[in-house]
Each structure stands twice: as C-alpha cells, then as structure tokens.
C-alpha cells in the first residue's frame, strides 16, 4: 500500500464522494461570472460572484440546491473538468486531471483551510455579488486575476510545506 495521498494515486474518476469534495480548495474562483466572446470563444473573467457565493468563506451558501437556484451552475465531474477551459489554473481538479500536484496552500497539503486565503488565491475581499446587477454590467467588472496563478511561494509561516 502506498503512502501517497489519494490525489497522487487515483484518477478523478476513482475518487470517492468524500475525496472529490475534499479536493476542492475553496478558492471560489469557479463561482465568478465569466463572459465568453462568441466570435473567438475567449473567456473573460469578472470579479462578479454568483448570488450563492459567500464572499467571506468562498463557499456556496446553498451547495446542495445550487443547481435548482442557479440553473446555469455547472456541476463539476471528471469529464467536465477535462473539457472546461474556464477552470482557474490553480483549481485542484484541473491540476490533478492534468497530472500536477496540489500547491502548498491547498488544505490537503497544508492541513489548514485558511491557507488558500492567506496565500491570496481565494476570492475573499475581491468580489462583488451579482445580486441586483444586470448581466450587461458585468463588462464593467472585468478582472484578469481569477485566470492567473498568483505568487506561489509559501509565506514564512508555511515555508516548510513541500
């Protein structure tokens, strides 16, 4: 039996429900509204969060019922992860699907769910809600950072994490 963590040993399709849910890093970037250029297919990120995104916890406020409340919410599956071009480059599902390891700030590596926030990867303090906003106003909220990889060097507190 291997001592490697599950995400290094199993493909996404073999993960249990608990492992799948644990793989989410809690950054909230996938819950930001995105605009697609219909001519080029290019995705443009915004800093506009889904109405269910809690800007403090960076989690869905009604995860179990999210698709009933927000019909265009995409339920991630291993197949979806491999085809969605808009998943953030830091997304644990995307990283594992592409054969990469998790970053130091991921709670499964650091042991602390706050490292995603401390590392500046999450949406905490950086978003506005879509509540009361018209979709045509999203263009006023274009943001590059959700599609970028931030500085990935561990903070001093976490410098001994591999």
Domain locations in the chain as residue ranges:
6-147
Q: What is the pTM of this model?
A: 0.89
User: What is the pLDDT confidence band of residue 154, given thresholds at 50, 70 and 90?
Assistant: low
- Alpha-carbon distance 123 to 35, whole Å? 18
- Alpha-carbon distance 91 to 27, whole Å? 8
User: What is the pLDDT confidence band of residue 149, given thresholds at 50, 70 and 90?
Assistant: confident
Q: What is the mean pLDDT of residues 47-69?
A: 95
Average of per-residue pLDDT values in the chain: 92
Answer for the pair 154, 161: CB distance below 8 angstroms, yes or no. yes
Q: Which two tokens stand for residue 66?
A: 């999210």
Closest CA to 158 of 104, 88, 113, 107: 104
Residue with the two structure tokens 């996404």: 12
Q: Which residue has the higher pLDDT, 159 or 145?
A: 145
Angle at 34 between CA 33 and CA 37, to 5 degrees: 150
What is the H or E stretch that residue 79 is in?
helix 78-83
3 state SS for 108-132: HHHCCCCHHHHCCCCCCCCCEECCC
* 12-23: pLDDT as tens digits: 999 999 999 999
pLDDT of residue 107: 96
């Amino acid at each position: 039996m291997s001592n490697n963590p599950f995400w290094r040993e199993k493909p996404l399709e073999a993960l249990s429900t608990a492992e799948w849910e644990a793989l989410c890093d809690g950054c909230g970037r996938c819950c930001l509204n995105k605009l697609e250029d219909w001519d080029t297919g290019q995705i443009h990120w915004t800093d506009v969060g889904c109405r269910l995104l809690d800007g403090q916890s960076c989690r869905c406020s009604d995860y179990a019922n999210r698709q009933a409340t927000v019909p265009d919410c995409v339920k991630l599956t291993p197949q979806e992860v491999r085809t969605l071009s808009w998943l953030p480059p830091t997304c644990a599902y995307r990283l594992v699907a592409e054969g990469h390891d998790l970053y130091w700030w991921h709670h499964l590596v650091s042991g602390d769910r706050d490292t995603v926030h401390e590392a500046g990867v999450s949406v905490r303090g950086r978003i506005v809600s879509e509540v009361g906003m018209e979709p045509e106003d999203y263009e006023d909220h274009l943001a590059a950072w959700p599609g970028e990889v931030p500085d990935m060097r561990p903070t001093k507190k976490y410098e001994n994490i591999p």
